[in-house]
Structure 1
Amino acid sequence: MIYYSVIPAEVALQDPAQPEPKIREVLVEGVSMMVEVDGAGEGRILRLLSTDPAHYLDPRYQPGSRVSLKS
């Protein structure tokens, strides 16, 4: 099946029974990023919002990496 739409596939095909993930914009070690928050004070990086190219080359800030949200 081919799906053509302006709506992203992950939005259109998501399971309505699943709860919405908690996504927040946070600043971790001076790097701005979007994080999916867990209940354990940690989060999974979804994307970087930083304008510094060096942050994108740092393996600690790769999407999918875990970060601590405790200050």
Structure 2
Amino acid sequence: MILYTPLSPELVLKGLREPVPRFRGAVIGGVPVLVEELAPGQGRLVRLLSTNPFDYLNPALMPGVGVAFLSSSP
């Protein structure tokens, strides 16, 4: 594959070797969310998937909040 670009190869390939974050869907208090898995059983809330606008006002569901979950095989 040939990539034609005016950018330097370092800039184009930046971040290529960084690990890809693992995301999984979860339900916290009846609210569907997207969680980034940091370690087995531990994660960080990334995104709310709820359609209820009042869920976005809940400080326990703010993005960046640490969460614990039971690990299950996919």
- In the superposition, the TM-score normalised over structure 2's length comes to 0.69
- Map 1:47-58 onto structure 2 (within 5 A): 47-58=47-58
Q: Is the 8 A contact 1:36 1:44 kept in 2?
A: yes
The more displaced of 55-64 and 24-33 is 24-33
Gap change, CA 1:40 and 1:57, over 3 Å in 2: same
Q: Can you list the C-alpha shifts for 1:4-43, whole angstroms capped at 9, x where unaligned?
A: xxxxxxxx88611111110111112211011101214121
Q: How many residues align?
A: 60
The structure having more radius of gyration, on CA atoms, is: 2
**RMSD of the TM alignment (CA)?**
2.1
Q: What is the identity percentage for the equivalent residue pairs of Structure 1 and Structure 2? A: 40
Q: Which structure 1 residue ranges, 4+ long, deviate > 6 Å from structure 2? A: none
Distance 2:13 2:51 in 1: 32
Shift of 1:70: 2.6
- Name structure 1 gaps, 5 residues minimum: 1-11
Change (3 A) 1:19 1:49: same
What is the TM-score normalised by the length of structure 1? 0.71
